[in-house]
Amino acid sequence: MHLPTLRQLQFLCALADERSFSRAADVCNVTQPTLSSAIKEIETLLGVQLVEREARGASLTTAGQEAVSRARSILSSAADLVSAAHQAGAPLSGPFHLGAIPTLAPYLLPRTVSKLREDHPDLKLYLREDQTDRLLDGLRSRTIDAALIALPWDTRGIETEILGDDEFLFICPKGHPLSSAKHLVPDDISGEDVLLLEDGHCLRDHAVSVCSLNGPRNGSDIGATSLATLVQMVAGGLGVSLLPRIAADAGVTAGTDVMLRDFDTPVIGRQIGIAWRSGSPREAEAKLIGACVRETLSARP
């Protein structure tokens, strides 16, 4: 029995993604006739038409859609085989794709990456900053190998390991009444204009959960795109907020007219964790990176 080659399956998947023979050929770094010939060979082997050739591109037949789905699974398994063999020979050497959420990446990755390079000089780290749900989708689709996220979060089909706690601090403009209050508890801010990150940021959900907030009282259409922007909004007198200690320790409030305060009882707003796909051959490497992150967290200023 003759079987399609992995290269032919790559061509088919590229054509499914690009819906154009010329663009798919460019992606695969081959000529268009080479790619077109490979697709015809697959169709001959399978005895069914996979692609509708059109004047302005190409589309998949029903059989083609099924073939592409199985081809992606085969290619993913082949990639896992290579990763498992590579890991057995030399963990954390070669390429590793690591994701991180925006409220961790700028404050945690610089120190972590520096230590990883020192400890694993043969590691070629590719970084991706994105929101939690998209990072989890990347793990499931195997476009990234591990991700630094904040927990708790719904991570079905994904394994996680907790690396440390991240405390929430109160942030307000200088001169705000709560900046000099004798005591401070989460309920004290329930009546304030609380600024939050935009929808989609897990930190927004964690802040709402920890302090039992319903969202900002006024100007609910205002949402920051990053913690740095959130700090500037607080400095501008638009409201108060909660700030993760990891960002405060990294100096995100430096040079701004804001006041940072601890709550009387520390408020653990979230846990920092590393995530990987269940059954991934790179689980051990993800845990090694997690150990490096844990060491970085323990060395906070």
Q: Which of 55, 87, 119 is the last residue of a domain?
A: 87
For the ranges 27-36, 68-77, 95-104, the lowest mean pLDDT is seen at 68-77
* Closest listed residue to residue 161, CA positions, set 148, 176, 180, 143: 148
Do residue 158 and residue 24 come from a single domain?
no
CB atoms near residue 59 (< 10 Å)? 13
> What is the structure's pLDDT at 220?
45
In this predicted model, which residue has the larger pLDDT, 53 or 87?
Answer: 53
Asked whether the CA dihedral 109, 210, 227, 143 is positive or negative, the reply is: positive
Same domain flag for 28 and 149: no
Count CB-CB contacts under 10 A for residue 136: 23
Give yes or no for residue 215 having a pLDDT over 50: no
Return the CATH number at 219: 3.40.190.290
Residue 301 confidence (pLDDT): 60
Q: Same domain, yes or no, for 25 and 77?
A: yes
**Band (159; pLDDT cuts 50, 70, 90):** very high
Residue 275: per-residue pLDDT = 96
Last residue of a domain, one of 56, 87, 118: 87
User: Of 87, 119, 146, which closes a domain?
Assistant: 87
pLDDT bucket at 217, cuts 50 / 70 / 90: very low
- pLDDT, residue 11, reads 92
Is pLDDT above 60 for 39?
yes
Q: Phi/psi of residue 181, each to 5°?
A: -65, 145
Does residue 152 have a cis bond before it (omega within 30 degrees)?
Answer: yes
When divided into structural domains, the chain yields a total of 2
Whether 279 is in a domain gets the answer: yes
265 in any annotated domain:
yes
Q: What is the pLDDT of residues 44-66, one digit of tens each?
A: 999 999 999 887 788 899 999 99
As a whole-number percent, the residues of the chain with pLDDT over 90 amount to 52
Is the whole model's pTM more than 0.75, yes or no?
no
